[in-house]
A and B are shown apart, each in its own frame.
Chain A
Amino acid sequence: MAAQSFERSIDSVASLYRFSEDIMSASAIDESVRFPVHLAMEELFVNLVHYNPGARRDIMVDVEAAGGKVTVTITDQDAAEFDVTKQRPVDTGASLSERKPGGLGLHLIQHMVDTLEYDYRDGRSKIRFSKEPETTDV
């Protein structure tokens, strides 16, 4: 497992990518796992930055890659409560005129990771998700 803290800024997205990509590459994690992991990390990190603009403390990210599986834990000691596991319906069948930009991040995560857990207590949020390679039925 490797952990690193990141400044709570949208500009941290690039270093967050490099950090997790280095770990997953070293563990020969399949691209079908890496892509959704990068997506979920970015969406969750950006949510923490956007929805709590008054916070100052860095955000801690732990990445564990083993046996083809990746588990990520994002800990924010300066968080507002926001349950990322709660369903937030998006009408993906709406017409172009009815669609509104935004709101897709959590919808995508909930489709693309295998597990997603949220814990909030005393101003600290801990989000954990995991992703394994897709199995092919024979």
Chain B
Amino acid sequence: MFEIDYAESGEVICSGRLDAAQSAKAEAFLGRLDASHTLDFERLEYISSAGLAILLKTQKRLSGSGAAIKIINVNKHIYDIFRYSGFNAIFEIETL
């Protein structure tokens, strides 16, 4: 199960497992962002390449208007995936 929604603070809270079956839900939400946002991954347990593709697509689109996604509270396993993918160079990332 994957959930994505705004917190009262304005940050985007992601939780659960962002796998291939859930990537459409992430894409529908992130596709509506039109300014810089912080994604809080504290409760995100898992991400696969399908989720990475959505993050990259969103970052590329936002960069056209000078905006960007920042990702915070990333667990060790997800950070490893970001590192192997080179995402640590194209996203601002803060680990747990």
Residue positions of A touching B, CB distance < 8 A: 10-11, 13-14, 17, 31-32, 35-36, 38-39, 42-43, 46, 90-97, 99, 101-105, 107-108, 111-112
Contacts and interface: CB of A to CB of B under 8 A. Distances in A.
B81 A39 contact: yes
A32 B90 CA distance: 25
Nearest to B88: A92
B17 to A, nearest CB: 7
Given A108-B81, A112-B84, A102 B19 contact: no
Interface string B74-96: 00010011001110011000000
Contact of B20 (A13, A31, A32, A112): A13
Contacts of B19: 13-14, 17, 42
B21 interface: yes
B46 A38 contact: yes
B4 interface: no
Contacts of B56: 99, 101
Nearest to A101: B53
